[in-house]
Structure 1
Amino acid sequence: MIYDKYSFKIPEGMGIRVITDTDAKNEADDQYCIVHTLLSPRFDNVGMIAAHFGDKRSKTSMEDSYQEVVKIFDLMKFEKSIIRKGATKCLPDMQTPVQSEGAKLIIEEAMKDDEKPLFVTFLGPLTDLASAYLIEPRIADRLTCIWIGGGVYPTGGPEYNLSNDINAANVVFNSTIPLWQVPRDVYHQMIVSITELEEKVAPYGEIGKYLYEQLIEAAHKAWAKKPPRTGEVWSLGDSPVVGLMLWDHMHDFDWIPAPNATEDMYYVHKLNNRPIRVYKRINSRFILEDFFSKIKKFAMQ
């Protein structure tokens, strides 16, 4: 699925296939990333997988994410055939996959004979990728994973996406799957003011109105629990995956031997392990302005 209703065209050979794995009902930022992904003409969107986000906030978290993805597609009037359900729970250990439509899709798409590179982005836990890899290890050199998750390097520490499947993260760390990791301190750089969202998102169609209103609702719930927050800003922490697929920020990452994550989510560094790409900063303005332009053009068609 390619949305390309722009005056410019993507040059031959520069398109990529994209699968998005999203815990969409966990918070309010996944929705922005999903819409941005769907409106980017470089991306041939071949899958949108609903991910679980543990069972502390909801006992049906994957199904909640699935219904949220469906709602976004309905608001945009997009055909829903690429939506899949992911795992309902985390891996029980590092050897046992959790079967799901999402894991099956990742395997099928990775094993296709297609000239377009495959990127699989994870806005929550890595359960579906780890499961796909355990089922079919040959996918390892046939895709690139971009993951929003993990604590600050070099020490690590508690981080929400990692907490929802530590076993899956360790499966991926110890695989040979190309991994671009966007850790907590970097995805928090995606700061935007509520006023800017009111001006540049809310007026633009049903989807713009929904994106803004659902964020305001989520934000007020969060602010009530954490009074030190200012009440005027939010972090669209999942959106870096779109920016990195549009422009990989070639000077903004380090190659670091893949660590292991302990039960309390600290990194154990293995100097002889394969290197992964760990981002240390992203260009939030580039990512935000691209999104603002695309949602405006989409609404005005």
Structure 2
Amino acid sequence: MSMPYDVPEQKKIRLIINTDTKCEADDQYAIVHAVLTPRFKIKGIIGAHFGTRRETTMEESYAEIRHVLSLMGLQDQFEVYKGAPVKIPDTSTPVPSEGAEIIIREAMKEDEPPLYVIFLGPLTDLASAYLMEPAIAGRLTAIWIGGGAYPEGSREFNLSNDIDAANVVFQSPIPLWQVPKNVYDMVRVSLAELAVRVRPQGEIGKYLYEQLIQHNMDHGHQAHWPKGEMWVLGDSPAVALLLDEHMFEYDNVAAPRIDSQMRYVPGQEGRTIRVYRSIDARFTLEDFYAKLALFALSESDKE
């Protein structure tokens, strides 16, 4: 794995990826984007659960992460961990896991580059890590793809899978960047675009494309999603914001409490979080397409 450039050591960051990889088809794109990004020193990838539709969702995510890395020939370069298999039972009780433990271990290290943890699904493992070791709060920054649009909030998939965990994190001192649904939905792509820009790029490009097309067909009977000839690569902003934080595209807002209907309830004082109101989809997608093409080229040169 190599890019035709490097990044100054002082600009590199530590990164942990927490992903409900097998719930649909876009987490895989974000994982590939992240592992091909020279700025990131990836300290672990955590498989996350995606609700109660099946008892094995975390295990499915864990297996899918390993499969993606294997297709890239990178299975020995990154540690993969199992997150919590279920949501936390309440706002006081963690669900211990390998994922929560690696977050704690990395956060508590001294004299290391800044630590960021991106969450592409529920916040279960971050909430558990914080409940297990509150001292991590000032030692990492979390980026979460989840939650409804501000100011009211609304039902949203990642949030729905652990509302209590979101409330733990929102009420904690952990620096948090939130990318709500109306913002992550901005990363729209057409299937034709993916056929041209992703499918030709080696074995991993073929897999990314084909698994998304299969998911699209498998769920075609649903009334409102998917739409048929487009997709949203909604997890990819978590990667792009660590390349450029889009400093003019967010607001610092008082962290709300979240009720059982996933609405935002104001009233919390002294705690602010960063909430994004837009994302540069062109920058996000073109960086991914370029890195994927460069990786495919480097792999073909080895043959």
- Asked if structure 2 preserves the Cα contact closer than 8 Å seen for 1:70 and 1:80, the reply is no
Aligned amino acid, residue 119 of structure 1? Y
Q: 1:98 to 1:242 in 2, by over 3 A?
A: same
2:173 aligned counterpart, secondary structure: coil
Matched, 1:67 2:63: yes
2:285 aligned counterpart, secondary structure: helix
| 1:158 aligned residue (155, 160, 169) | 155
Structure 1's consecutive aligned runs of 4 or more residues displaced over 3 angstroms after TM superposition are: 227-230
Matched, 1:210 2:207: yes
- Deviation of 1:191 after TM superposition, in Å, equals 0.1
76-85 vs 220-229, which moves further: 220-229
1:290 aligned counterpart, secondary structure: helix
- Deviation of 1:230 after TM superposition, in Å, equals 4.3
2:220 aligned counterpart, secondary structure: helix
- Could you tell me which residue of structure 1 aligns to residue 250 of structure 2? 253
Aligned amino acid, residue 246 of structure 1? L
- Deviation of 1:273 after TM superposition, in Å, equals 3.7
- Deviation of 1:131 after TM superposition, in Å, equals 0.2
Give the distance between the partners of 1:266 and 1:41, measured in 2 at CA: 38
In percent, how many aligned pairs have the same letter?
A: 55
Q: Which runs of 5+ in 1 are unaligned?
A: none
- Could you tell me which residue of structure 2 aligns to residue 126 of structure 1? 123
Aligned amino acid, residue 61 of structure 1? T
187-196 vs 267-276, which moves further: 267-276
Give the distance between the partners of 1:122 and 1:179, measured in 2 at CA: 11
TM-score scaled by structure 1?
A: 0.96
Matched, 1:141 2:138: yes
- Could you tell me which residue of structure 1 aligns to residue 90 of structure 2? 93
Matches for 1:167-246 after TM superposition, within 5 Å? 167-226=164-223, 230-246=227-243
1:300 aligned counterpart, secondary structure: helix
Q: 1:185 to 1:295 in 2, by over 3 A?
A: same
TM-score scaled by structure 2?
A: 0.96
- Could you tell me which residue of structure 1 aligns to residue 301 of structure 2? none
Q: 1:227 to 1:165 in 2, by over 3 A?
A: closer
Give the distance between the partners of 1:128 and 1:139, measured in 2 at CA: 13
Q: What's the Cα RMSD here?
A: 1.2
Matches for 1:48-63 after TM superposition, within 5 Å? 48-56=45-53, 58-63=54-59
- Deviation of 1:83 after TM superposition, in Å, equals 0.3
Give the distance between the partners of 2:226 and 2:43, measured in 1 at CA: 38
Q: Which runs of 5+ in 2 are unaligned?
A: 299-303
- Deviation of 1:220 after TM superposition, in Å, equals 1.7
**Which whole-Å deviations, capped at 9, do the CAs of 1:95-121 have from their partners, x for residues lacking one?**
000010000000000001133100000
Matched, 1:107 2:104: yes
- Could you tell me which residue of structure 1 aligns to residue 289 of structure 2? 292
Aligned amino acid, residue 217 of structure 1? Q
**Which whole-Å deviations, capped at 9, do the CAs of 1:76-110 have from their partners, x for residues lacking one?**
11116510000000000000000100000000000
Give the distance between the partners of 2:28 and 2:182, measured in 1 at CA: 21
**Which whole-Å deviations, capped at 9, do the CAs of 1:179-222 have from their partners, x for residues lacking one?**
00000100000101111100110011110000000000111223
Matched, 1:17 2:14: yes
1:224 aligned counterpart, secondary structure: coil
> How many aligned residue pairs are there?
297
- Asked if structure 1 preserves the Cα contact closer than 8 Å seen for 2:119 and 2:145, the reply is yes
- Asked if structure 1 preserves the Cα contact closer than 8 Å seen for 2:42 and 2:78, the reply is no
